[in-house]
Structure 1
Amino acid sequence: MNHVMDEIEARAHRQLHRMRELGERMAAIRVRETSTDGAITAEVDGNGALCDLVFTTAVSRMSPRDFEQLLVATAAQAAARAFAERAELINAFNAEGADLPR
């Protein structure tokens, strides 16, 4: 009986370690995207939250509408890449979990 409990405890520790590692890797995701003209660079985290914005002087020559569209498009591209990275981590986590002994 002790052996069974030891194995259950060891499995729980392995799963906890895997989940913590996944959380750390997801929290570490940062994606930077620069607009094609180089005027705007947006950085987002794994949740798509904006972490940083960098503008060049080129934005001063844009209309407010063009600036807004470029900013939103650039940030959206960064978020899409961040979500893709997060999805890859989750898929790898799930695939690895399916291969673990029960």
Structure 2
Amino acid sequence: MSEAMDALEARVHRQLNMMRDLGDRLAGIRVRETSPDGAVTAEVDGNGSLCDLVFTEAISKLSPSEFESVVVATAGRAAHLAIARRGDLVGAFNAELAESMPGGEPGH
């Protein structure tokens, strides 16, 4: 019985460490994307939330509607990449978690 409890405790600790590592990796996601004309750079986090927005002098050549389009498109591309990176991390976590379960599958 003690051996089984030791094995269970070790597995739980490994899984807890995996979860902490995932949390750290997710919190560390930052994606910067620059518009093709170099006018706008957007940085987003792993939730797709805007963290930073930088403009160059190139924005002076844009109309208000062009400026709006460039900001939205650039931030949107950054958010898309960040969410994809987040999905990759969660997918890798799920695969690793499944392998750590008895029988190699969740619930077994």
Q: Where does residue 29 of structure 1 map in the other structure?
A: 29
Q: Which runs of 5+ in 1 are unaligned?
A: none
Residue 38 in structure 1 maps to residue 38 in structure 2: yes
The CA deviation string for residues 35-85 of structure 1, in whole angstroms up to 9 with x for no partner, is 010100000000001111110011122111111111000000000000111
SS at match of 1:54: strand
TM-score, length basis structure 1: 0.95
What number of residue pairs does the alignment pair up?
A: 102
Q: Where does residue 85 of structure 2 map in the other structure?
A: 85
Q: Which runs of 5+ in 2 are unaligned?
A: 103-108
Residues 1-102 of structure 1 mapped to structure 2, 5 A cutoff:
1-102=1-102
Structure 1 stretches of 4+ with a deviation exceeding 2 A read none
Identity, % of aligned positions: 62
Check the 8 A contact 2:11/2:100 in 1, yes or no. no
Tell me by how many angstroms 1:29 deviates. 0.5
